[in-house]
């Protein structure tokens, strides 16, 4: 009885109701998407205004494009140096993460060895540890061992804190590769190491690419450990350099915005170049992780 009543109302005014619902749902989504992109566009076009123009009307488009803000921001932040440091730290970290996660993930997926379960739990623990609680102890450790303030300093925490998830992703991906492939390789006389690196690693390329892209973002954007482990200005990464720039020159808003746009540029290009791949990778990771 109840069911019939419900169906009847659906039939009475289906078009109007459906249209209204459609409008609301699309409206909410469009509003949200706009709220995601508008502040960033605002940042982009405001960075091309003069300071007077900006304080006159913060929301209007620039009359003439002032690229001077960018020239100044590059000079004041020492952006080339910051970028070089960030690129170096990120590149080395990502390569090491992919390599270690591949080897460890492969061992977890394919081999039985003593302490395997314990090792997996140990790595999983890394997902739960509140890493920012470790800022102080990691700082003390790096100070005592003299590891702070070098060009390689940040590689150590970046690799360590970004191993857990990639290991899980790789091992679940490798589990899906048929075992016969390794058996065939063994019959052909390939050693264990050659099979792992020359046969399986290329086959795991999709998951390794996902790991590399996601860890690129994680390492490039990291701020906290850079903040506590680097005192030397010449070692600063982009996010760290930006925080000093902001506290020192925050009165000239368009210039600050130009600096922010510059610091976002590599990630933005990377994202919009590979967005469908990144999204597919995150979704695959979400299902498997």
Partner 1 sequence: MGKALRPTRWLTLLYLLPGLAVYSFVVLVPILSAFRYSFYSWTGGPRRSFIGLDNYVEIMRDHVFWHSFLNNGLMTVYGLIGQVGLAFLFALFLLSRAVRFKALHRTISFFPSTLAPIIIAFLWTLIYNYNYGLLNEGLKLLGLERLAQSWLDLSGPIVLLVSIPLSWQNIGFYTLLMLAGLSAINKEVLEVAELDGATGFRKAWYVIIPLAKPTLMVASLLCIANNMRGFEHIYAMTGGGPGNASSVMALYAYDTSFLRFRYGYGSALAIAIMALTLLIILLSAFALQRKRSTDGGVS
Q: Is 55 in the site for partner 1 (CB under 8 A)?
A: yes
Taking a C-beta distance cutoff of 8 angstroms, is the pair 190, 239 a contact? no
By CB atoms closer than 10 A (0-12, 13-18, 19+), residue 270 is middle
In our burial notation (b when 16+ CB lie closer than 10 A, e otherwise), range 121-150 reads eebeeeeeeeeeebeeebeeebeeeeebee
What residues from 6 to 45 belong to the interface with partner 1 (CB under 8 A)?
A: 6-7, 10, 18, 21-22, 25-26, 28-30, 32-33, 35-37, 39-40, 42-43
- Measure the CA–CA gap between 134 and 18, rounded to whole angstroms: 53
User: Of 76, 204, 256, 258, which one interacts with partner 1 (CB under 8 A)?
Assistant: 256
User: Of 129, 198, 233, 273, which one interacts with partner 1 (CB under 8 A)?
Assistant: 129
Binding mask 209-248 toward partner 1 (x if CB under 8 A, else -) reads: --------x--xxxxx---x---------xx--xx--x--
What residues from 97 to 116 belong to the interface with partner 1 (CB under 8 A)?
A: 100-101, 103-104, 107, 110-111, 113
Degrees to nearest 5, angle at CA 31 with 26 and 36: 125
Nearer to partner 1, 202 or 287 (CB): 287
Q: Is 62 in the site for partner 1 (CB under 8 A)?
A: no
Taking a C-beta distance cutoff of 8 angstroms, is the pair 210, 100 a contact? no
Torsion sign across C-alpha atoms 236, 68, 247, 42: negative
Least separation in angstroms between CB 232 and partner 1? 16
Taking a C-beta distance cutoff of 8 angstroms, is the pair 243, 223 a contact? yes
Least separation in angstroms between CB 64 and partner 1? 20
User: Of 1, 11, 16, 137, which one interacts with partner 1 (CB under 8 A)?
Assistant: 137
User: Of 82, 207, 257, 258, which one interacts with partner 1 (CB under 8 A)?
Assistant: 257
What residues from 178 to 207 belong to the interface with partner 1 (CB under 8 A)?
A: 179, 182-183, 185-186, 192-193, 195
Total number of residues that touch partner 1 (CB under 8 A): 100
What residues from 70 to 99 belong to the interface with partner 1 (CB under 8 A)?
A: none
- Two tokens at 272? 């919009």
Question: Based on C-alpha coordinates, what's the Rg of the chain?
Answer: 25
Nearer to partner 1, 202 or 272 (CB): 272
């Amino acid at each position: 009885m109840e069911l019939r009543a419900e169906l009847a109302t659906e039939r009475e005014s289906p078009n109007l109701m459906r249209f209204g619902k459609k409008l609301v749902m699309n409206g909410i989504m469009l509003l949200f998407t706009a709220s995601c992109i508008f502040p960033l566009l605002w940042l982009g076009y405001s960075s091309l205004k003069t300071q007077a123009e900006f304080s006159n009307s913060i929301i209007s488009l620039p009359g003439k494009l002032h690229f001077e803000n960018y020239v100044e921001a590059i000079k004041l932040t020492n952006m080339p140096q910051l970028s070089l440091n960030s690129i170096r730290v990120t590149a080395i970290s990502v390569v090491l993460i992919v390599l270690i996660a591949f080897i460890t993930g492969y061992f977890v997926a394919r081999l039985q060895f003593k302490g395997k379960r314990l090792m997996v739990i140990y790595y999983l623990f890394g997902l739960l540890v509140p890493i920012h609680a470790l800022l102080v102890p990691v700082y003390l450790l790096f100070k005592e061992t003299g590891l702070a303030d070098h060009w390689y300093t940040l590689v150590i925490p970046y690799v360590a804190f970004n191993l857990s998830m990639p290991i899980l992703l790789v091992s679940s991906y490798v589990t899906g590769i048929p075992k016969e492939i390794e058996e065939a390789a063994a019959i052909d006389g390939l050693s264990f190491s050659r099979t792992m690196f020359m046969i399986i690693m290329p086959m795991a390329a999709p998951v390794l690419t996902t790991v590399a892209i996601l860890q690129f973002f994680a390492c490039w954007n990291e701020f906290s450990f850079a903040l506590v482990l680097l005192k030397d200005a010449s070692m600063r990464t982009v996010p760290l350099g930006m925080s000093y720039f902001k506290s020192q020159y925050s009165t000239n808003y368009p210039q600050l915005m130009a600096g922010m746009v510059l610091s976002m540029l590599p990630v933005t290009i990377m994202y919009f170049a590979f967005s469908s791949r990144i999204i597919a990778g995150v979704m695959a990771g979400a299902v498997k992780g």
